[in-house]
Structure 1
Amino acid sequence: MASISLRQKPHAVLVPFPSQGHINPLMQLAKVLHYKGFHITFVHTEYNYRRLLKSRGSNSLDGLPTFRFVTIPDGLPATDANATQDIPLLCDSTSKHCLPHFRNLLKKLSSSPDSPPITCIICDGVMSFTLDAAQELGLPAVFFWTPSACGFMGYVQFHRLIEKGLTPFKDESYFTNGHLDIVIDWIPGMKDIRLKDLPTFLRTADPNDIMLNFLVAETERTKKASAVILNTFHDLEDEVVDALSTLLPPIYSIGPLNLQLKQIPADNEPDLVRGESSVIPAEFLEETKERSLLASWCPQEQVLSHPAIGGFLTHSGWNSTLESVCGGVPMICWSFCGEQPTNCRYSCKEWGIGFELGDDVKRDYVEGLVRKLTEGGEGKEMKKNALEWKKLAKEATTCPNGLSFLALDKLINQIIKLDV
């Protein structure tokens, strides 16, 4: 039988999108909430749970009495080793298959003597099926959008881009005829943004494109959330955050979460699973065996904090960008998909901490950028800017007056208040 103290704990059910770049920030938030006194239920999809067990060992997800891992089916075939790399398939499958199983999980948790009554659901912004279950049970649903604020704003504007005829493209020629160079001057809080700087899921000529329509639906459903969490800090993205605040439920900028975690004494932080397996082509290993060192995993945040690091070649994913900001490290930005081009644009043009690596990647050009970053005058200015952002990021998460630190406390108070 659960103790009285356990029954009185606030209980947060966290539901990440089953991709590592989404799981990590949700896990960071879960650890912070656990330290703040919450009972945590962390919901993996069955497919991702199996992958984590395979890569980390059979006992790696046992959790703690007040920090538990559970699973729900996701509709993905167990035999497909790379299903989580197919983002459209993953989004389509979770949105169509997870709700009834999540509903049953909530009922099971609500009747369990081993956990407190559920206080709230905190879901990834693209796992909005949880909203239906939350509404049925009268629970607050908080949406955690894991991109940058500028990247998230790009997604929020997808419906207007469709209304204005900017996407879907009329035909395949629009990928190369200069259409992507159109300047978008009407997005609140953003300036000098080109169509190609916005998230890449708008780059389609198919009106039935899964990702375009999925993201329009998910951002629209965000308007029904009890609150919205962003893993950023106000000084970095103040104009965009302020603009989003006029469009959506209360927004809490509580990042960088990796720095919020540093407020937790080491002996109080739960020792939970991290990392994931990766697949590297055999040809790459053969080609680089005499001139590279390849590790299966490394603590990227610690590496970026090392004083020997002069720059970071990054795909401009938001987690990596934030870690670079926190380490005071300037970047060479080689964006690939999603909101990475938006992060790249802001890193290079707004924050002054990066050089963009274009599509025509040649050895001499890359060498020139590296030298420019580590030896040139521009690079030194970027390092200065990066160190200033590092300082502001630390201030934002520092007790007792950091804006992100205060926003986190305000969020917790709202969650508890909504549950009363």
Structure 2
Amino acid sequence: MDSMPIINDKKPHVVFIPFPAQSHIKCMLKLARLLYHKGLEITFINTEWNHKRLFKYGGFMGLDGLPGFRFKTVPDGLPTSSDDETEPTQSLEELSMHLLTNFADSFLDVVNGLEVPPTCIICDGTMTFTNPYYVAEKLKIPIFLYWTMAACGFMAFYQAKVLFDKGILPLKDESYLTNGYTDKLLEIPGMEKVRLRDLPEHILATKPDDPAFLWHVDSAQRADKVSHMIIHTFDELEAALIKELKSTFPHIYTVGPQQLLLNQITEKETKKPNFNGHSLWKEEPECIQWLQSKEPNSVVYVNFGSLTVMSLHNLVEFGWGLVNSNHNFLWIIRTDLVDGKQAALPQELDELIKSRGFIASWCSQEEVLNHPSVGGFLTHGGWGSVIESLSAGVPMVCWPYSFDQHVNCRQMCKEWEVSMEIESNVKRDEVEKIVRELMVGTEGERMRKNATEFKKKAEIATAANGSSTSNIEELSKEITHLS
């Protein structure tokens, strides 16, 4: 898989380092495709097992083998095996600890083995803990940080540094988590209505030596040390916040929604968009076949992403709520969604689901969201899902799980008014009520109109002279000037 033709040494050469998770890899591969289309050479670094999964489930989408677009791997600490049917077990924490210790040296070995030295590194903003700066300094090349999240998501992460410098974090003791203190509104330039508890939960530590808290602070501090940042959003969605960020970080490129930018290319070549999602999971085409039989705007799409884990209780409550709403639904239930184990629904509920819903383990999400039968999206609020839903003009119900999802949910509900929120302790009656409101209620209709407006703005941003289109052009020129 790693053998490639000798590349043209006159072209700029970008090395991509994604965080080893589905949404991050997908997002960075799309940016890599856009820059490749601009004439840049690409080397994309995956961990070994993610590389195998991407190949196994067709996520390469024909990129592997293209002249000047190559995939390389670094070890992930898992034993090598020829048995592709066996999924090795490794938590995100275990993988991160391995990369913390071993990534920099492995990465340097990969880069030293390339035929032509890279012009620059585009590193996932959440991968700086692996110290890619070590390699960049040795090669004397710059690093661009790519935040595969919204501007509000980046700013929420950045508050770890801001509030640490102000002495607000870490919290004095655990009572601050339950006494209403975290309900206080934060003063964040360009963002309103955001509370302390909307920040990533690991920021709200009560001990100064908390490893997750220190990781957030370190990641935010490293953002100050780079000259260029890329964010997967578009100016028309987060105008005030992006304006504020540019006053602190002068070289910011907003490059979303990337799928709409790619559609500009694929529609010229094939007359239709290509929604292949660079998936690490096996996508089930039966999902689309099932949707074909449903009326427009009649289906609730339910997907909590690739990392969310919930209790069996919450899964069952979601199930009963969906069934009792009397709306059709397409529900993605990963094999490890329930506390990392196989989900087992009660027989009565399972039979009712089969009469109104369709359950699959994974799907081509953007193809589903753009299907005319889909009228609403019950999501965890991961940024990839949110921007894909906005691009399709689909309103949402959000049940945030972790990371940037809480601040995304806050902005979706209070700032953009395209979503409603379900509380963390799931209750079937609430799910039933909110799904009905989403699909046929007056609030749902208002959110649908707002989502449709953001879809139009996203299309403007990615049109020929749009803000995101211009930023991709400027980014490619900036990298070219470095070579």
Q: Is the 8 A contact 1:31 1:270 kept in 2?
A: no
* Equivalent position SS for 1:193: coil
* Equivalent position SS for 2:361: coil
Match of 1:26 in 2: 28
In 1, distance between residues paired with 2:396 and 2:242?
23
Q: Is the 8 A contact 1:275 1:297 kept in 2?
A: no
Deviations 1:342-369 (A, max 9, x none): 0000001100100011123211111111
* Equivalent position SS for 2:8: helix
335-344 vs 265-274, which deviates more? Answer: 265-274
Q: Is the 8 A contact 1:121 1:141 kept in 2?
A: yes
- Aligned mate of 1:392, from 451, 457, 472: 457
C-alpha spacing 1:308/1:273, structure 2 compared with 1 (3 Å): closer
Match of 1:264 in 2: 265
In 1, distance between residues paired with 2:63 and 2:7?
24
TM-score by length of 1: 0.89
Match of 1:143 in 2: 145
In 1, distance between residues paired with 2:66 and 2:144?
24
What does 1:8-407 correspond to in 2, within 5 Å?
Answer: 8-52=10-54, 62-75=64-77, 81-83=88-90, 85-86=91-92, 88-109=93-114, 112=115, 116-128=116-128, 129-185=131-187, 187-265=188-266, 267=269, 273-276=278-281, 278-280=334-336, 281-284=341-344, 289-290=350-351, 291=353, 292-399=357-464, 401-407=465-471
In 2, distance between residues paired with 1:254 and 1:361?
35
In 2, distance between residues paired with 1:298 and 1:4?
36
* Equivalent position SS for 2:238: helix
In 2, distance between residues paired with 1:69 and 1:233?
28
In 2, distance between residues paired with 1:351 and 1:210?
34
In 1, distance between residues paired with 2:367 and 2:398?
20
C-alpha spacing 1:283/1:136, structure 2 compared with 1 (3 Å): closer
Q: Is the 8 A contact 2:120 2:142 kept in 1?
A: yes
Q: Is the 8 A contact 1:159 1:216 kept in 2?
A: yes
* Equivalent position SS for 2:43: strand
Match of 2:473 in 1: 409
In 2, distance between residues paired with 1:286 and 1:389?
40
Give unpaired runs (5+ residues) of structure 1: none
- Which amino acid is the alignment partner of residue 475 of structure 2? L
C-alpha spacing 1:76/1:156, structure 2 compared with 1 (3 Å): farther
Q: Is the 8 A contact 2:151 2:242 kept in 1?
A: yes
Please report how far the alpha carbon of residue 47 of structure 1 lies from its aligned counterpart in structure 2 after TM superposition.
3.9
Please report how far the alpha carbon of residue 251 of structure 1 lies from its aligned counterpart in structure 2 after TM superposition.
0.5
In 1, distance between residues paired with 2:470 and 2:413?
29
56-65 vs 304-313, which deviates more? Answer: 56-65
C-alpha spacing 1:90/1:175, structure 2 compared with 1 (3 Å): farther
268-277 vs 132-141, which deviates more? Answer: 268-277
Please report how far the alpha carbon of residue 207 of structure 1 lies from its aligned counterpart in structure 2 after TM superposition.
2.2
* Equivalent position SS for 1:126: helix
In 1, distance between residues paired with 2:222 and 2:30?
24
Q: Is the 8 A contact 2:7 2:68 kept in 1?
A: no
Q: Is the 8 A contact 1:348 1:354 kept in 2?
A: yes
In 1, distance between residues paired with 2:252 and 2:412?
22
- Which amino acid is the alignment partner of residue 73 of structure 1? P
C-alpha spacing 1:161/1:102, structure 2 compared with 1 (3 Å): same
C-alpha spacing 1:57/1:342, structure 2 compared with 1 (3 Å): closer
- Which amino acid is the alignment partner of residue 313 of structure 1? L
C-alpha spacing 1:416/1:190, structure 2 compared with 1 (3 Å): same
In 2, distance between residues paired with 1:199 and 1:271?
30
In 1, distance between residues paired with 2:276 and 2:393?
27
Among the aligned pairs, what percent are the same residue? 42
- Which amino acid is the alignment partner of residue 28 of structure 2? L
In 2, distance between residues paired with 1:118 and 1:248?
24
- Which amino acid is the alignment partner of residue 161 of structure 1? L
C-alpha spacing 1:6/1:64, structure 2 compared with 1 (3 Å): same
Pairs aligned (count):
410
Deviations 1:124-161 (A, max 9, x none): 11222222211221212111011210010011121222
Q: Is the 8 A contact 1:224 1:249 kept in 2?
A: no
C-alpha spacing 1:162/1:252, structure 2 compared with 1 (3 Å): same
* Equivalent position SS for 1:326: helix
C-alpha spacing 1:55/1:305, structure 2 compared with 1 (3 Å): closer
In 1, distance between residues paired with 2:67 and 2:474?
26
In 1, distance between residues paired with 2:167 and 2:239?
29
Deviations 1:267-297 (A, max 9, x none): 5889895332642443435655321422232
Please report how far the alpha carbon of residue 337 of structure 1 lies from its aligned counterpart in structure 2 after TM superposition.
0.4
146-155 vs 50-59, which deviates more? Answer: 50-59
Please report how far the alpha carbon of residue 44 of structure 1 lies from its aligned counterpart in structure 2 after TM superposition.
0.6
Aligned CA RMSD, in angstroms, stands at 2.8
Q: Is the 8 A contact 2:157 2:220 kept in 1?
A: yes
